A and B are shown apart, each in its own frame.
Chain A
Amino acid sequence: MNKQLLLGAEAIAQAALDAGISGVYAYPGTPSTEITQFIQQSSQARESGVRSKWSVNEKTAYEAALGMSYAGKRALVCMKHVGLNVAADAFMNSAITGVHGGLVIVVADDPSMHSSQNEQDSRVYGKFAMLPVLEPSNQQETYDIVRYAFNLSEDVKLPVLLRIPTRLSHSRSVVVRTEATPQNQLDPTQEKNKWILLPVNARKGYHSLLEKQTQLENFSEFSKFNKVISGAGDKAVIAFGIGYNYVMEVIKTYNLNMPVLKLSQYPLPEQKIRDFTEKYQDILIAEEGYPVYEELLKGFFGNSKFRGRLDGALPRTGELSPNVLAKALGVKTNDEQTVPSVVAPRPPMLCQGCSHRDLFDALIQAMESYPQRHVFGDIGCYTLGALPPYNAISTCVDMGASVTMAKGAADAGLFPAVAVIGDSTFTHSGITGLLDAVNDGSAVTVIISDNETTAMTGGQDSSGSGKYYDICKGIGVDEKHIRQIVPLKRNFEENVKVLKEEFEYKGVSVIISQRECVQTAVKSKKKAAR
């Protein structure tokens, strides 16, 4: 098969296609977006009818993937780490139901929070749900491990969690494919009871999950992705996932000779780890993310032979790098050079001509006469409105929180209570909160900044385009208080007036501020020209 240069994300997509998936389900989120995008653009996917449209959120994505598995076919579901919080209800319970067709869930973590609100480690979720977890170290292994994951899922009848960090998802390398497998035929499960999680069945399902743990551990013991790289001396390293790359980089660069246990499949292989750790007195644990397994190996009362993020041998937060590993392995490196003081920070900012800019200009003006100026924000490009020169946003917590936090603050007496939420974020998790506000008659003004796309992740289709008015009306917002504005400089005065009028209304009002994202506008213009 041909060599291809693929991002880690793309290697996942290609492997899933070659593994015979019938569908991918996902909501965009850095660093996971490129997986689904690759499948959407793949001719192989088109020819074999793999369904790949964006889902409204991670929970709907997960459930649809589970439904495809129920029907006997293979499904891939992808999200960023915080997306798994949204899908967690379905995810946790799918460990109890188990699967029929192979189901692989890819979660892309973002240690160092390059584009995220936290750096939670999805392997914790894997342990929590007691599911097999795979964590590849490089692009080729990512391809191979995804192929393996679908077989494993069908062998043990469980969803398999694949965890990758930003640096693997967004790094390109040469990948060689293996022969593709055809899709499964439609073959709905006949084991009906195990899918009905009434307590009587759920208890059985939970027992069955517990019983499978020995089998899962066995798979880890004999996994080709878990291996020992031999070396001399009494110092050793246990390297998890991409941590292995940094460890090997240091070993190779500085000609070190030390044994390494590389782990990429969990639950932990007990025997393998026992055999390895018994031989050495000083063991560095290199994990990308939380010290999940370090904590486990060290134990509650601590075992000083294990070093890592908990004792400061490695930094407690942020992603690993060759340099922090070199330091932890006692290598002297020449990395004292600092960034010259003349270099100014260049933070991300809203694009020139962006519709959010004109909205914020009007919003700041409309708020000016109020002593309390709080605007509840949300997740998307418009979060950048929190930075200078706007300083227009007071909060950014999680998808949809602008609406519900504004509602809660209004309940507490804050006036005006204003939320700014993007179109895609609104359909992801804003509608339910708006219904709460309607049912409670809360005095909130929800501004949907509709740029007709999911812009921050690169312009994916937005689920509710053209439907926002109807959605708001449908859940009971008074039509007189669903206002539509076009955020342009020439409409500034008019827009300020509309905003002020709705701030003053003592009930739920929605302002749909609609103008296409400048980035997607340029793209569609180019497309039209071709």
Chain B
Amino acid sequence: MQKNIIISGVGGQGILTIASIIDLAAMNLGLNVKQAEVHGMSQRGGAVESHLRISSEEIFSDLIPKGKADIILSIEPMESLRYLPFLSPDGVIVTATEPYVNIPNYPELDELLKTIADSTKHIFVNADSLAKEAGSAKSYNVVMLGAAAPYLEIAVEELEKAIEMLFLLKGKEMVDMNIKAFRLGLESALNT
């Protein structure tokens, strides 16, 4: 088993939390993990990405080769396309549809979504409304993780167990809310 996942978004959107949950679940299953992150200058409201690789065999490169990503999991629609060169021809884009506009020349949303739809297999998620339904707009990223879950080849229970482990320090309420967010995302992807 091997999965190459690009997680993308804008600095501060919580992509590292998504990565931590998948990392933890994979490690619990005894899989090998490599996850390259972005720190420093590029974090300040700029585009950020994480290369996450899980495999039952030894993983060498910390970076996913171009054309070899199975999934682009994006918390922001335009950012999903920035990493298109990494996506394998039969890969999938799972992206939130709400744009994060902090630049003056942000493209038209319709054009963006059409470009994604024309490029590859895709799942669009209204992450904002699902996150609010779960109880907090901040669970946006976990909604997106749920939506990507069907493509990760990691059992849903393992991912939920990892969410529990990660949020336990912040209290049971946080765990429940994030599990709910995860399930809403998952459901939304399965019904697409």
The answer to whether B37 and A172 touch across the interface, beta carbons within 8 angstroms, is yes
Query: Nearest chain B CB to A459's CB is how many angstroms away?
Result: 11
Q: Which residues of B contact A394 (CB under 8 A)?
A: none
Q: A322-B63, A343-B82 are in contact. Are A30 and B34 (CB under 8 A)?
A: no
The answer to whether A249 and B34 touch across the interface, beta carbons within 8 angstroms, is no
Query: Nearest chain B CB to A216's CB is how many angstroms away?
Result: 29
Q: A333-B67, A335-B66, A339-B81 are in contact. Are A171 and B34 (CB under 8 A)?
A: yes
Q: Which of A85-93, A348-356, A397-405, A461-469 contacts B (4 or more CB under 8 A)?
A: A348-356
A-contact bits for B102-113, CB 8 A (1 contact / 0 none): 110111000110
Q: Which residues of A contact B60 (CB under 8 A)?
A: 244-246, 248-249, 252
Q: Which residues of A contact B127 (CB under 8 A)?
A: none
Q: A3-B27, A5-B24, A337-B84 are in contact. Are A342 and B115 (CB under 8 A)?
A: yes
Q: Which of B59, B60, B81, B112 has the most chain A CB atoms closer than 10 A to its own CB?
A: B60
Q: In the bound complex, what is the Cα–Cα distance between A33 and B47 (angstroms)? A: 21
The answer to whether B66 and A249 touch across the interface, beta carbons within 8 angstroms, is no
* Nearest CB in chain B to that of A246: its residue: B61
Q: In the bound complex, what is the Cα–Cα distance between A168 and B37 (angstroms)? A: 10
Q: Which residues of B contact A252 (CB under 8 A)?
A: 60
Q: Which residues of A contact B150 (CB under 8 A)?
A: none
The answer to whether A339 and B82 touch across the interface, beta carbons within 8 angstroms, is yes
Q: Which of B38-46, B152-160, B174-182 contacts A (4 or more CB under 8 A)?
A: B38-46
Q: Which residues of A contact B37 (CB under 8 A)?
A: 7, 170-172
Q: Which residues of B contact A334 (CB under 8 A)?
A: 67, 89
Q: In the bound complex, what is the Cα–Cα distance between A252 and B46 (angstroms)? A: 34
Q: Which of B36, B61, B84, B115 has the most chain A CB atoms closer than 10 A to its own CB?
A: B61
Q: A248-B60, A323-B66, A326-B65 are in contact. Are A348 and B35 (CB under 8 A)?
A: no
The answer to whether B27 and A174 touch across the interface, beta carbons within 8 angstroms, is yes
Indicate if B78 sits at the interface (CB-CB under 8 A): yes
Q: Which residues of B contact A323 (CB under 8 A)?
A: 65-66
Q: A245-B60, A249-B60 are in contact. Are A172 and B67 (CB under 8 A)?
A: no
Indicate if A435 sits at the interface (CB-CB under 8 A): no
Q: Which residues of A contact B47 (CB under 8 A)?
A: 345-346
| CB < 8 Å neighbour of A168 from B44, B62, B78 | B62
Q: Which residues of B contact A340 (CB under 8 A)?
A: 81, 84, 115, 119
* Nearest CB in chain B to that of A252: its residue: B60
Query: Nearest chain A CB to B177's CB is how many angstroms away?
Result: 17
Indicate if A347 sits at the interface (CB-CB under 8 A): yes
Query: Nearest chain B CB to A381's CB is how many angstroms away?
Result: 7
Indicate if A458 sits at the interface (CB-CB under 8 A): yes
Q: Which chain B residues in 80-105 approach chain A with CB under 8 Å?
A: 81-82, 84-85, 87, 89, 102-103, 105
Interface residues on A, range: 35 or more
Q: Which chain B residues in 19-52 approach chain A with CB under 8 Å?
A: 23-24, 27, 32-47, 51
Indicate if A1 sits at the interface (CB-CB under 8 A): no
The answer to whether A31 and B39 touch across the interface, beta carbons within 8 angstroms, is yes
The answer to whether A347 and B33 touch across the interface, beta carbons within 8 angstroms, is no
Q: Which chain A residues in 211-267 approach chain B with CB under 8 Å?
A: 242, 244-246, 248-249, 252-253
The answer to whether B65 and A249 touch across the interface, beta carbons within 8 angstroms, is yes
The answer to whether B103 and A172 touch across the interface, beta carbons within 8 angstroms, is no
Q: Which residues of B contact A381 (CB under 8 A)?
A: 44
B-contact bits for A165-209, CB 8 A (1 contact / 0 none): 001101111100000000000000000000000000000000000
Q: A246-B60, A249-B61 are in contact. Are A30 and B40 (CB under 8 A)?
A: yes
The answer to whether A343 and B78 touch across the interface, beta carbons within 8 angstroms, is yes
Query: Nearest chain A CB to B35's CB is how many angstroms away?
Result: 4
| CB < 8 Å neighbour of B67 from A3, A242, A337, A384 | A337
* Nearest CB in chain A to that of B108: its residue: A342
Indicate if B10 sits at the interface (CB-CB under 8 A): yes
The answer to whether A170 and B67 touch across the interface, beta carbons within 8 angstroms, is no
Indicate if A412 sits at the interface (CB-CB under 8 A): no
Indicate if A491 sits at the interface (CB-CB under 8 A): no
Q: A340-B119, A346-B47 are in contact. Are A114 and B40 (CB under 8 A)?
A: yes
| CB < 8 Å neighbour of A173 from B11, B35, B78, B84 | B35
| CB < 8 Å neighbour of A337 from B63, B85, B106 | B85
Query: Nearest chain A CB to B185's CB is how many angstroms away?
Result: 23
Q: Which of A7, A172, A345 has the most chain B CB atoms closer than 10 A to its own CB?
A: A172
Q: A335-B85, A340-B84 are in contact. Are A171 and B46 (CB under 8 A)?
A: no
Q: Which residues of A contact B102 (CB under 8 A)?
A: 346, 349
| CB < 8 Å neighbour of B85 from A5, A7, A338 | A338
A-B CB contact pairs (8 Å), 11 listed: A31-B40, A33-B39, A172-B36, A245-B62, A248-B61, A252-B60, A321-B63, A335-B85, A337-B66, A345-B103, A350-B44
Q: Contact residues of A with B, CB < 8 Å?
A: 3, 5, 7, 30-31, 33-34, 114-115, 167-168, 170-174, 242, 244-246, 248-249, 252-253, 321-323, 326, 333-335, 337-340, 342-351, 381, 384, 456-458
Q: A171-B35, A248-B60 are in contact. List 8 more A-B contacts (CB 8 A).
A: A337-B85, A340-B81, A340-B115, A346-B10, A346-B47, A346-B102, A348-B45, A350-B44
Nearest 10 pairs between A and B by C-beta?
A30-B40, A115-B40, A348-B46, A335-B66, A322-B65, A348-B44, A249-B61, A171-B62, A115-B41, A171-B36
